Structure 1
């Protein structure tokens, strides 16, 4: 069985508030979606950020992040 889809999309205005590392913006239908990751240093940082430390008294996450 073959299905043929003809589609026309007219976009007059598109505003994207933010895009995170795992975001997918799709308009219309696609046979496949290819992953793409771009990293931009918009703050002109010259060295890596400090390692994150857990806050004192922080609660355990509801969903474990690693196996026990």
Structure 2
């Protein structure tokens, strides 16, 4: 069964609270959403990155941007 849907959508304000690596914003109708992930070597790196070090002590430094309570 196939459906053809024609839509006209006017968006006056779109407010997104937060964005993560796997965020999806859907406007309109869709039959399925397929994930897509792409990696690009824009820095021209030729070697693997160094292994991250685990911090053993937590520093009590304030954030650079004041956060609301």
TM-score (norm 1): 0.49
Which has the higher relative contact order, 1 or 2, with Cα contacts under 8 A spaced 6 or more apart?
A: 2
